[in-house]
Structure 1
């Protein structure tokens, strides 16, 4: 178990104390792995209440080889319906239509007899039956890493790539290497994300994802998904699939995966928060994961998410304000947090190698498309990049169509001290 203020990384006492104060964890918990003494009586009660809220009754539970427990929960009793706007919500089991021009290759179906391109470790020990959805069980140590029961699943350090920003939020520096298209209305996007296992420093994260955003700093909505390595959220350093959303600039609404009510999952094969396997090998076989998002304008306007060729679920339009209509920006790329311990972080983005290394070595996004204001599926047009420090992490567009790019980097190096 990875504790946020433990001695696993042999941090100095000064650094350790700094982080304990930063994460608002009592100093009495430092080096103590017994959660009974870390939380006081009131906090323990809050933790138990939060675990009861998060972990819905399971019809079947599957122990994953990596230590996760996947609960198969009745689809009608999933966390989404704790949202006050979804109390009487009728589940939309499938989209009313698919966007014109989107192609779907069912050979990627994780339940097919052919060898899938995407899998998760828990699949080795079972599958969830029809009528249920797989949810990674939240444990007490998960809440401990979050610092409080209330913070679990939310973004401690949130940042949207912005060329006008210094990249610092909540006192933490964020590094980005992303491709952006804006200036239109957007009703969907697609991308294939190369899956890697980047190395990260203590207390930091590295991700590859897309953002669809709308609004401004006063009223900002976003839906996101991708692959993330994050020791604050998870007990290991494996790449894990995630979703995220917010309706108020990451203030009170929104969370990772199903850790708060809102996102409605319909798929019984993929668990958010669970590890992705296999992942890419430097100089070897490359793995990727397809993501599609589109607004079901012929239905009730929900934002559908398709992962690995499966209709995974949707964000109901009713939980958003400005994003209930359309997005104003689509972004693809990588992000890391940089705590600057002893200089620039060594947390890797993507494969941990610069885009100039190319195929089989640098991480990539490909087959980028958007659904624009005319409801037309097309590649990025008049896009631009946001790169916080090209000596640390960079992005390189390949070809003339703007629908493929390499990105990433090692972080600290002779040119990025």
Structure 2
């Protein structure tokens, strides 16, 4: 009976050890995983604007707040456990490359080799003193499709009636989307907001908006690109290279002449005088600067503007017939109509989604087009509202991002170019766990 009792005691110890020590291992592994995930996100987020050493150090500091050395040891995560590289989604493979900013792999370990294994409480009675634990976390950057081609607003996106959206186009609001009726959403279109119960539409909305119900998604985005917009525009004044498009030379700026002065050809002959700017006022392949005086307003007269960057503090009016091709225009003006057009403004070259020819407008204020807005590989980034009236036809490759609302009224075609022609559009990287 004594021997049998001892036998049962050993069984109880082993079973108790399995329950207690395994739960302890699972708890420690969970803490390791949380720390590795948090450290990986911190490392990749920091790597965007810092070197690998600085980003790796931040990852270790972040992990240490989750993993006290009294429990997990000093070697639970070391600098060699943080590796930057690339992530191949097709094969789910991480490849180390210390110069890369697109992915990071972080590991955390409690092992005999590192001198910090997980110590058992009961299983040591039967000779199992420790367990080795190891976790891995991989984060990768990505670009949400909505920010490449679509309408994204912090506040309401208000689209009225008789609009058409083709496969791949995205409409997103961090508040809600408002629709009327007779809109068409081709399969593959996305309409998203944090809470689908907030979708604003008539009672017969799904019957009167073909494809809408299939297009609905839930989600929210931080508008990272707009958060950095003041810094981006500020860098243009001194032609810093980081944010310049490829057709602009860095380090050189050209001061645009006052509009009341004449423009001279290479021989010194006056070829234009007037109260607005024309394409001839701008130096190609260069950062052009224009400071306003008096009313703080300037007009770009009709014509084709191409291959330059303009940075200004003016309220800028685009006269009828302005076409922007391979152009970036940025203003620090904060008025609701810091960019405005009465009609017939074309942002980007009408080239059926061919490479190049795109254009970007950046403003710390708002954008307003009264009629006939055409966008072909074009982008509008605005801290204020983006408003454009009816009959905006031929939209192929459009990215509108606003910290206010986007109001698009009626009778518009909103096409999708599968990122073609948007090569020079401004985007901000987002981060997600991939392994």
TM-score (norm 1): 0.23
Q: Decide which structure has greater helix share.
A: 2
